[in-house]
Amino acid sequence: MRLLLTACATTALVATGPLTATAADQGPQGHDKMVGGELLTAKPTVVADGAAPPAVQASAYVVADLDTGQVLAAKAPHARLRPASTLKTLTALVLLPRLKKTDPVIGTTADAGIIGSKVGVYPGLHYTVDLLFRGMFLASGNDAVHALCSHDEGGIPATVQRMNAKANDLGALDTTVTDPTGLDADGQYSSAYDLALFAQAGLARQDFAMYASTKYTNFPNAGNKGTYQVANQNKLLFGYDGALGVKTGYTTLARNTFVGAARRDGHTLVVTMMNAPHGITQDASNLLTWTFANYGKLKPVGTLVKPAAAPPPKTQTEGKNQDKPTARKAGEPPARTALGPGQAVTSLALRVPAWAYAGPPVLLLGLFLRRPRALRRRRH
């Protein structure tokens, strides 16, 4: 009986595992070797050669030279963690080539009602794509992201598909996208290594680099009654010599995430950090300063992989009438992406409440511990 009860309890614990697992110890799935080099593991160890980097509080980080692609220091670079709004770097990589900056966009109630950080998109107010990108980069506005995705063909479902495809093209195999804003969503992960790939691809674009380094912009008030100033949340821009900005992020589950870059002495460096409790700007500054100071001593511990060859993306106008996704009608639920057999099982397991797994062992426990009727009559 004890063996049976133990087996049932073990089954319950195994079943509840996916509900609490963070996947922080998982590297690129389906690959024998770590992308970018065998030294770049998902283990929580610091890898550097030539000098000892300063201690930082983030669970994972990468410092890399964006010009050479050399990774100069890393800590759990392939750990799959929640990216928060640093995922917007990938969102921008998908949307920037597709949308015309001067296009008008009218705010909707769906834009204004989105949860999380907002820049202030109001229903009925007129914006340009350019201004919405500024709201997305500087204020990390989820409402701006929603408006931009909705303006593109296929809306949010199509943007998510394009983001996953773009991540794959860049070699960012730790990344799975389910929400383009970066909010904590089931199955949404990235890594410090992948964020470095997004930064490298982004800063190679003039428009991305411009938005990432913009310190201030003005956004219209409701009713077009003047404007208000929006400041970039990446504080590296305001106090670090040579800073190029890029993107910050924060959610309750992801904690602080960060992508920052700086250019000094002919070198352009990026630092990415994930799952940091606090002090992320100072830690990023310390890592960048250490790398610049020791650049001549450091030996590469890995590389940022080169993107796969792909045809140039079509603009929204060029792509019209070509594989156009079906537009979502007002009030219609979002389209669902088809899941493979393994994904479907995982998705189902994640939707079953934890207490349900404990039900069978408890019932069996009551069955085996019930006293025989003869014993109960004997005690009366």
- Alpha helix locations (H) across the chain? 2-20, 88-95, 109-112, 129-138, 142-151, 155-170, 192-203, 206-213, 236-239, 280-293, 341-351, 354-369, 373-379
Longest pairwise C-alpha distance within the chain: 92
Between the alpha carbon of residue 365 and those of residues 10, 14, 206, 371, 374, the distances in Å are: 13, 18, 65, 12, 20
> CB neighbours (10 Å) of residue 337?
11
Q: Tell me which residue of 194, 201, 150 sits closest to 174, measured CA to CA.
A: 194
Segment (H or E) for 139: none
Q: Is 85 a catalytic residue?
A: yes
Tokens at 159, concatenated: 């943007």
Asked if residues 360 and 8 have their Cβ atoms less than 8 Å apart, the reply is yes
DSSP track, 111-136: HHT--S------TT-EEEHHHHHHHH
Strands 126-128 and 243-251: unpaired
**The one catalytic residue among 75, 88, 166, 235:** 88
What does the buried/exposed string (b/e) look like for 284-306 if buried means 16 or more CB atoms within 10 Å of the residue's CB?
A: bbbbbbbbbebbeebebbbbbbe
**The one catalytic residue among 59, 117, 140, 191:** 140
What residues contact residue 180 under an 8 Å CB cut-off, 6+ apart? Answer: 87, 88, 91, 145, 149, 156, 159, 160, 163
Q: Tell me which residue of 163, 193, 190 sits closest to 82, measured CA to CA.
A: 190
Q: Is 140 a catalytic residue?
A: yes
> CB neighbours (10 Å) of residue 323?
9
> CB neighbours (10 Å) of residue 131?
21
17 phi/psi in degrees, rounded to 5: -55, -50
**The one catalytic residue among 59, 75, 85, 285:** 85
Q: Is 190 a catalytic residue?
A: no
What residues contact residue 354 under an 8 Å CB cut-off, 6+ apart? Answer: 16, 19
Asked if residues 119 and 65 have their Cβ atoms less than 8 Å apart, the reply is no
**Which three-class secondary structure state does DSSP give residue 76?**
coil
Residues serving a catalytic function are 85, 88, 140
